[in-house]
C-alpha cells in the first residue's frame, strides 16, 4: 500500500492540528493551513517542489499575518491593572447599595450575599445610594457614584 504525496500532506496537517490542540500554540494552525494547501496542490497535480513552495508560502504568510494582527491588538489595547480590568473581574460595573458612609469614605455593603468593605473612589463627596463598582483592591470594593 503506497501513499501519494497528498496523503503525506494530510497526515502532516493532522499532526500539526493535534499538536496545536495539545500545546495551545495557535501558530501551528497557521502552518496547518499551509500543509492543507500543499495537499490540495498535490491533488491538483502540482510537482513536489511546487507543493513545498505552496506549503512554505501559505503557512509562512498565515503565521506572519497572525503575528502582525497580535502585535496590532496589543499596541491598541492598553491593559488596565487587574483590579480595574473588567475582563479579569466580572464585578466591575456591577451596582451596590450603600446605606451610609463612614468617615474617610469607607462603608460596609452587601454584595453577592456577603458583607464587603468598600471605599469611595470618586471625586465628589460620597452620598448614600446606588454606586457602581469601579475596581477591587484586595477584598475592598472601589465604588463611584
Report the pLDDT value the prediction gives residue 62, as an integer from 0 to 100. 95
Backbone φ and ψ of 19, nearest 5°: -65, -40
Q: pLDDT class for 80, splitting at 50, 70, 90?
A: low
Instruction: Judge whether residue 78 has pLDDT over 90.
Output: no
Is pTM, for the whole model, over 0.85?
no
Report the pLDDT value the prediction gives residue 124, as an integer from 0 to 100. 75
Digit-coded pLDDT (tens) for 49-74: 999 999 999 999 999 999 999 888 87
- String of DSSP letters for 24-35: --THHHHHHHHH
Amino acid at each position: 500500500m503506497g501513499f501519494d504525496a497528498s496523503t503525506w500532506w494530510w497526515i502532516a496537517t493532522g499532526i500539526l492540528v493535534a499538536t496545536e490542540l495539545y500545546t495551545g500554540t495557535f501558530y501551528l494552525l497557521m502552518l496547518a493551513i499551509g500543509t492543507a494547501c500543499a495537499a490540495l496542490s498535490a491533488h491538483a497535480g502540482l510537482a513536489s517542489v511546487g507543493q513545498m513552495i505552496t506549503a512554505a508560502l501559505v503557512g509562512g504568510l498565515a503565521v506572519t499575518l497572525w503575528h502582525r494582527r497580535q502585535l496590532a491588538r496589543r499596541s491598541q489595547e492598553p491593559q488596565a491593572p487587574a483590579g480595574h480590568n473588567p475582563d479579569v473581574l466580572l464585578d466591575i460595573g456591577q451596582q451596590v447599595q450603600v446605606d451610609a458612609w463612614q468617615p474617610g469614605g469607607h462603608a460596609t455593603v452587601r454584595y453577592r450575599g456577603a458583607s464587603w468593605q468598600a471605599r469611595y473612589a470618586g471625586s465628589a463627596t460620597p452620598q448614600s445610594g446606588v454606586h457602581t463598582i469601579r475596581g477591587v483592591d484586595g477584598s475592598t470594593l472601589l465604588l463611584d457614584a
